Structure 1
Amino acid sequence: MEGTDMAQASDTAQPQTPPRRDNPATVTGTNRLKALSHPTRLRILTVMSDTKPVTVGQIAEQLGESAGTVSYHLKQLEKAGFVTQTPSPDGDNRRSCWLAAQSRLEINADAAVDSAMATTMDQVSSTFRQEAWQRYRSASDNLPKQWTDPTVTSSSVLRLTSEEYARMSQELRELFNTWTSRDLAHEEGDGSQPVMLNIDAFRWLP
C-alpha cells in the first residue's frame, strides 16, 4: 500500500489533506494480515479517514479505549503501511495526527502464506463482527428509529445447484459493490452514519 500523498501548500495556506482514493486496497501477505490480527485495529481503521486527520485522543474517545492502547495499535498499523502520521491541519506541531492510507480495505485472508494465519484472520473477522453486533444491540434502545427500523438480520440454509450458487454469489457481490460505492459519496456531517454490511455465502456442512 502506498503512503498518503500530501498536497503542497503555500506559505499562507492551511495544510491540505490528500484527495480521497476510490479504489479499495486488497490486503494480502502474512505480514500485513498479521498487523490486522486484532479486532481493535480493525475498529481503529473504521473510524479513520484518508482525508481527515484525527488525533489519538479523538480515536480513543470514539472507541472507548485508552489513549495508550490506541497509540500502540496505531504504531503497529503504521509499520504495515495502513496509517500514516501527518501534520495537524491547524499547524500545531504539538499535535500528532493520523490518516488512513486508503479509503477502503478488502482483506483477503485466503492469500495468507500459511493456514494458521488464515484461520487467525477468520477468527478476528468473526470477533470483529460479533462485537460490533453486541455494541449495536446494547445501544439500539437509545438510537433514533430511522437507524434501527431498517436493520436486517437474516440467515438461511438453501439447496442450490452449483450454477445457482455461482449466480447468487455474483448477484450478492454486485449488490455489495453498489452499496459500498455509496460510502464514497458521503462525508461526516452530511446526515450519514456508519452502517455495517456483511454478506456470507458458503457451502453448508451439517
Structure 2
Amino acid sequence: MADPPRRNIDATTLRGLAHPLRVQLYDALVTYGPATATMLAGRFGESTGSTSYHLRQLAKHGFVEEDPFRGAGRERYWRAYPGGAQLDGYELTDGGSGEAARLVVGELHRTQSARLEHWLAAGYLHVPREWGRASVDTTAHLRLRAGELAELGAELTAVLDAWRERVRDRDADPEAGTRIVEVQLHTFPVAAEDVP
C-alpha cells in the first residue's frame, strides 16, 4: 500500500512546525522512525513534558501521528505522517510566514548538514568497508533551463519514491544487514555572479 500524498504546508500548518525543537523532533521521526516522547527527550536533552507538548502540537498540525502498530497503555509511540510534507517558500512570503519558513528550512538543513558532516569527518570508520564503498559523494554541474531543472527534480524524486516504496516495510537492523541510509540531493541554480 502506497503512502498517502505529501501534505502541502500552508501558513497555518507552518506555525505548528516553526519551532527549532519541533523541527528536530519531526526530522528525527522522519529519519529514524517511530519513537516515544521519552526516547526523543533523551536524544535532545529535553524533558519528557517538553517533547510531549511539542509532539502534540506537531500532531495538531498534521506532521506526526500516533503509531497504531507500536506501544501499549501509557507508552505512546509517534511517527511522522507517512506521506511526508512539502513547503513552497514562494507561497509563504506574506507576514510572518516567510520568516517561519526560513526558520523551518534552515533548521532542517542544519540537521541534514550535521549528519553529512559527521559522515565525512569519521562516520565511514564506524561501518564495514562495504557500506563505506557503497556510499556516493558526487557533484554535477549542468546548464539547464528552469523547466529542465523541474524535470530533473521530478525524475530524481520519482527514483527516491520508488525506492521508498520498495523498502517501506523494513526496519533498520544491522543484524539483518539493513541500516538507515540518508540520501541528500540538492538541485539549485548557481548564483549569477558565480557563472563564467
TM-score, normalised via structure 1 length: 0.67
Pick from 184, 189, 193: which aligns with 2:179?
193
Partner of 1:97: 76
Residue 65 of structure 2 is aligned to residue 65 of structure 1: no
Pick from 33, 37, 57: which aligns with 1:48?
33
Give yes or no for contact 2:55–2:64 (8 Å, CA) kept in 1. yes
| Aligned AA (1:130) | S
Aligned CA distance change for structure 1 residues 36 and 195 (closer, same or farther; 3 Å): farther
DSSP 3-state at the match of 1:96: coil
Distance 1:200 1:88 in 2: 34
Aligned CA distance change for structure 1 residues 140 and 33 (closer, same or farther; 3 Å): farther
Aligned length: 180
Distance 1:103 1:165 in 2: 27
CA RMSD across the alignment: 3.2
Gaps of 5+ in 1: 1-19
Distance 1:159 1:88 in 2: 47
- Deviation, 1:184, is 1.3
Give yes or no for contact 1:140–1:148 (8 Å, CA) kept in 2. yes
Q: How does 1:140-155 map to 2 (within 5 A)?
A: 140-155=124-139
- Deviation, 1:183, is 3.5
Distance 1:108 1:180 in 2: 20
Partner of 2:103: 120
Give yes or no for contact 1:30–1:112 (8 Å, CA) kept in 2. yes
C-alpha offsets along residues 149-202 of structure 1, whole Å, 9 cap, x if unaligned? 222222233223456545433432332222222331423445422111122222
Distance 2:44 2:8 in 1: 27
Partner of 1:160: 144
DSSP 3-state at the match of 2:118: helix
Give yes or no for contact 2:66–2:77 (8 Å, CA) kept in 1. yes
Distance 1:202 1:87 in 2: 38
Distance 1:29 1:60 in 2: 28
Give yes or no for contact 2:26–2:80 (8 Å, CA) kept in 1. no
Partner of 1:11: none
TM-score, normalised via structure 2 length: 0.70
Give yes or no for contact 2:9–2:85 (8 Å, CA) kept in 1. no
Distance 1:99 1:107 in 2: 20
DSSP 3-state at the match of 2:85: strand
Choose 164-173 or 124-133, whichever is displaced more.
164-173
C-alpha offsets along residues 54-113 of structure 1, whole Å, 9 cap, x if unaligned? 43233345x35344353343233233233345799675x3x3312326224132233436
Pick from 22, 34, 45: which aligns with 2:3?
22
Distance 1:89 1:176 in 2: 26
Percent of residue pairs bearing the same amino acid type: 21
Gaps of 5+ in 2: none
Partner of 1:6: none
Distance 1:139 1:103 in 2: 28
Give yes or no for contact 1:22–1:103 (8 Å, CA) kept in 2. yes
**Structure 1 residue runs of 4 or more that deviate by more than 4 Å after TM superposition:** 85-91, 161-164
Residue 35 of structure 2 is aligned to residue 35 of structure 1: no
| Aligned AA (2:125) | D
Distance 1:99 1:59 in 2: 10
Q: Say which structure is richer in helix.
A: 2
